[in-house]
Every structure is written in structure tokens, then in C-alpha cells.
Amino acid sequence: MLKNIDPLLSADLLGHLAAMGHGDVLALVDRNYPAASTAQRLVTLPGVDVPRAARAILSVLPVDTFVEPAVLRMGAVGDEEVVQPVHAELQAVVDEAEGRAVTSAAVERFEFYRRAGAAYVVVATTEDRPYGCFLITKGVV
């Protein structure tokens, strides 16, 4: 038991977040993303949507200030630049956690898969909205 740590942050997830270095990438993905077959390291958060998972993770993980954009989102096929509701919600969570406007951008689906395959850790949620997949670059404290 730890004080002031979000209960979603299991020992496994906390260990991965702590082991990440500056510039490492965390993939936060929805239920449709093929996490089990592509992740180097995988943490699952059943029954949790992306905004809730992001709030917990970003309570301890700093977002990079040297890389722009520090947050990438999977764009909808054929409409990559359209900001989906799940994208807007995640952006609000990131901005609130950082206390600043964090630059984000869309990435084409297969480019997202390529980048997520190289992520330090993949956190799989049960987010049911499509295109609820993000890459967050870790910053420094």
C-alpha cells in the first residue's frame, strides 16, 4: 500500500513508468488495438477507459517538453486530422496534468502501429470508442 498513488497504478505499471527514461514512449491503447501480439511490455487495465487511465498515469509521468508533438493520436482512416471525442478528452487530461497546453498531432493508422511497436510499454484499456490510441513521450522531472 502506498499513499497518494492512484489505485490503477499497479506495481507492474509503476515499475514500467519508473524504468522509462526521458524520450521513451508509452502507448495507451483502446480495446481494438492488437496489444498482446505487438507489445514489448504490456500492462492491461480491464474496465478502464483511456481518459481514466491517462489521469492515473499522468499523475506520475511527466510529458516531454523537448519533443513536439509529445502526444500522438491514431487518426481515423481517411480522416486523420479529425479530432474524435476520445482525442479531445485525452488532450484535456494531458493539458490538465501538465498545467500547460501540450502539442499533439494525428498519425496514420499503420504509422501508429509501427511507432507503438517500438514503445517502451503498451497500456491496454477497454476503451470502446474507435481510434482511442495514443503515444505519449516521457519527459523529465
Cell triple for 74? 491514431
Helix (H, G, I), strand (E, B) or coil at 44: strand
55-108 pLDDT tens trace: 999 999 999 999 999 999 999 999 988 999 999 999 999 999 999 999 999 999
Write down the CATH number for the domain with range 24-137: 3.40.1650.10
Lookup: cell for 128 = 470502446
Whether the model pTM is above 0.85 = yes
Report whether 26 contacts 56 (CB < 8 A). Answer: no
Residues that are catalytic: 22, 64, 113
